[in-house]
Structure 1
Amino acid sequence: MRKLERRYRRLLHAYPLGYRRARGAEIVGTYLDLAEPGRRWPSPADAADVVVGGVRERLRAAGAADLIPGVRLAATLAFTTATALAGIWTAAETIAGRASWGVPTFGPFATTGIIVWAVWLLAAVVHSLAPLRWTRMTIGVALLLSAAALPVGALAGLPRPPLFVLVPQAALGLLALAMAAYAQRWQRLMPLVVAPLATLAAAHGMVERGTPYRSGEWGNFLPKAGVALLLTAILTAAILALRHDTRGLWALLTLLTPIGLLGLYPLSDITADLIGASYPNFQVATATTGIVVILSALTLTVAVAARRGTRPARLATVTAAPTAGTCPTCGR
């Protein structure tokens, strides 16, 4: 039990120092009371609960407690976008797989990506019918399959989706894991409605254009999807701001990473020109991805720091003395 207690206390470093001093013993005692006999390590769920609670309390101390609801709003928009894109790529896999452009195919489909997109569409169905944990599990499977597409394709010689398709989808999926457990019915049904519409629209456009799925021309479509997501986030932020609700602004800042990665193809072209590369190869795409993630993270960090700087001085010590009735594990 002593080892388990020490490990819980290490996890408490996620909380601000003042909060740990005030309620650290209470938090650790609660988890120890609930732990089954013989346990030596905190369970993954407990560890995540402590870390999330600590992050929430640090944000509260920085005057950005509304960042968490903003992230959940961004997660909902990201999930809807990801399922719509999955529908589009499903149409691309099906139509391109039937055409004869002299490139290898995965049976009747263009690449192994059809498995990834099928799981994403399944996630939309699960989200409308089952608790959030099942949606998260399905998204997790889709993310694992996306990560496996590269090594499996290289080892087995199977065609895979382009990186500029997989990377933004993975970013949207990681953000979608932060969706709120309790959502209104229309929010749960939205991805299930949007995905088929996107599939039909994409199928119609691809038949007319006759462009191979793995052609670079399709890289120009994703930036348009990024612009659509950006405009949606801006509109949402403006509407909420009229009600003095800052969730939309935090959602917009959180979405900067997937929005930037939706433009990975043209941005990699720019990076290749800057460094003198002949084309945006794997190394160039990886470097561009890193730049987008770092710049987006810095923007969000600066916004949190600026919010902290505008707080009244009298609120600076709130964390050191938690108010009565605050939950010791989540800081609420």
Structure 2
Amino acid sequence: MTALERRYRRLLLAYPADYRRDRGDEIVGTYLDLADGGRRWPSPSDAADLVRGGLRQRLRSAGATDLIPGVRLAGLLALATATFLAGFWMIVEQQSPPTEWGLRPSFGPFVSAGVVAWFGWLIAALLVAVTPGRPSRSAIALAVLATAAVPVLSVIAGSLRPPLLVLVPQVALGVLALAVADHLPLPIRALPITAAVAGGMVAWADENVAYWGADRGGVEQLLTAAGAVLLAVAVLLTVGLAIKRDGRGTWALAALLTPIGLLSVHILAGMVDGLGGAPRPTYPTLVTTALVVAMLGPTVLPAAVALRRRVPTHSTDPHSTDPRPTRPCPTCGAHR
């Protein structure tokens, strides 16, 4: 066995054991036939293709073929929410705080270094509308990296930055937005840029919202409202799709648990501290709650897949009189 074949077979571990046993030699042989002479390592595209194929096959064998479409739906909702917030904060960056706060623009004409991230999100929203696929996904990835880098950039530039309460949920929304589908109708592709414009209009209507000040309640209220709207839309989609026996909404809701929770993390942390009214949780409680919420989506999705695999699925044929449970075919995902 050559080194290249051995490495292809390691990648084949992404597939279920029975699938590897039945078709593993065929798959590895195909990749070896197509590989360039003298190659010792699988190409990045081959590796990604094998891992994606293995994931799809595992989902099919678990009867969870609608998980990936559901996560893509969640990515679209997350992207629209992220661009709405970016449009809002972009306007906030151009509004000078009240003079009694003692703050002045510290990043050129803008209030903080956060403008770099918000500008990146607006570019990503535009690219999703006009050039879907790899360019738009790369732009989303750059916007996520720019948002995560804002604290470091603010230190280097000696400028102010948006609070972590704003930056952390934006990163979570962006990571999920990377899953957005490439081939979408133009009206749907235009949703992120439309949301960004709407966010900017809301910010112009409320000139008192800012990152800093004695009372940051406006920021918290905006984040909570965004989380509530995102949750309501996800629930409505879940119910509507479930009526049609479509499980995408359920998976989308599960994937959105982390960004929804991070948008309202100050309220959740306040509940943990047992405070009433406008919550003001302690910093350790806030950090702990954020860490727990951050693990919701990554924990719930694999657990749901494992549960789907363990629980026998009954036939969905309304005319069937056979009460015996059926299991999904490990190859095609169909129930038998």
Which of 305, 314, 318 is residue 329 of structure 2 equivalent to?
318
Contact kept in structure 2, 1:86 and 1:117, CA below 8 Å: yes
Bigger mean CA offset, 126-135 vs 94-103:
94-103
Q: Quick one: structure 1 residues 87 and 280, their matched pair in 2 at CA, closer, same or farther if it must change by over 3 Å?
A: farther
Question: What are the superposed Cα offsets for residues 205-235 of structure 1, whole Å, 9 maximum, x if unpaired?
Answer: 1x2xx24323432123211110100000111
Aligned residue for 2:94, secondary structure, equals helix
Aligned residue for 2:95, secondary structure, equals helix
Aligned to 2:199: 198
Aligned residue for 2:127, secondary structure, equals helix
Describe how 1:276-295 pairs up with structure 2 within 5 A. Answer: 280-281=282-283, 284-295=285-296
Bigger mean CA offset, 193-202 vs 88-97:
88-97
Return the alpha-carbon distance in structure 2 between the equivalents of residues 4 and 252 of structure 1.
41
Aligned to 2:317: none
Aligned to 2:162: 161
Contact kept in structure 2, 1:80 and 1:190, CA below 8 Å: yes
Structure 2: tracts of 5 or more residues without a match: 315-323
Question: What are the superposed Cα offsets for residues 177-227 of structure 1, whole Å, 9 maximum, x if unpaired?
Answer: 11112111211111122211221112211x2xx243234321232111101
Q: Quick one: structure 1 residues 39 and 101, their matched pair in 2 at CA, closer, same or farther if it must change by over 3 Å?
A: farther
CA positional deviation for 1:11: 1.4
Contact kept in structure 1, 2:60 and 2:328, CA below 8 Å: no
State, as a whole percentage, how many aligned pairs show the same letter: 46
Aligned residue for 1:95, secondary structure, equals coil
The residue identity in structure 2 corresponding to 1:42 is P
Contact kept in structure 2, 1:106 and 1:158, CA below 8 Å: yes
Contact kept in structure 1, 2:3 and 2:40, CA below 8 Å: yes
Aligned to 1:233: 234
Describe how 1:146-225 pairs up with structure 2 within 5 A. Answer: 146-205=147-206, 207=207, 210-215=208-213, 216-217=216-217, 218-225=219-226
Return the alpha-carbon distance in structure 2 between the equivalents of residues 73 and 176 of structure 1.
9
Aligned residue for 1:159, secondary structure, equals coil
Q: Quick one: structure 1 residues 131 and 246, their matched pair in 2 at CA, closer, same or farther if it must change by over 3 Å?
A: same
CA positional deviation for 1:50: 1.6
Aligned to 2:81: 81
Q: Quick one: structure 1 residues 204 and 9, their matched pair in 2 at CA, closer, same or farther if it must change by over 3 Å?
A: same
Aligned residue for 1:181, secondary structure, equals coil
Q: Quick one: structure 1 residues 317 and 254, their matched pair in 2 at CA, closer, same or farther if it must change by over 3 Å?
A: closer
CA positional deviation for 1:156: 4.0
Bigger mean CA offset, 31-40 vs 8-17:
31-40
Return the alpha-carbon distance in structure 2 between the equivalents of residues 98 and 126 of structure 1.
35
Aligned to 1:111: 112
Contact kept in structure 1, 2:74 and 2:256, CA below 8 Å: yes
The residue identity in structure 2 corresponding to 1:56 is R
CA positional deviation for 1:148: 1.4
Structure 1: tracts of 5 or more residues without a match: 327-332
Aligned residue for 2:111, secondary structure, equals coil
Q: TM-score, normalised by structure 1?
A: 0.86
For the aligned residues, what is the CA RMSD?
A: 2.6
CA positional deviation for 1:242: 2.1
Aligned to 1:120: 121
Question: What are the superposed Cα offsets for residues 67-99 of structure 1, whole Å, 9 maximum, x if unpaired?
Answer: 111111111111111111110111111114686
Aligned residue for 1:131, secondary structure, equals coil
Aligned to 2:266: 265
CA positional deviation for 1:149: 1.4
Contact kept in structure 1, 2:97 and 2:103, CA below 8 Å: no
Q: Which has the higher helix share?
A: 1
Q: TM-score, normalised by structure 2?
A: 0.85
Q: Quick one: structure 1 residues 99 and 190, their matched pair in 2 at CA, closer, same or farther if it must change by over 3 Å?
A: farther
Q: Looking at both structures, which has the greater relative contact order when contacts are Cα pairs under 8 Å and sequence separation is at least 6?
A: 1
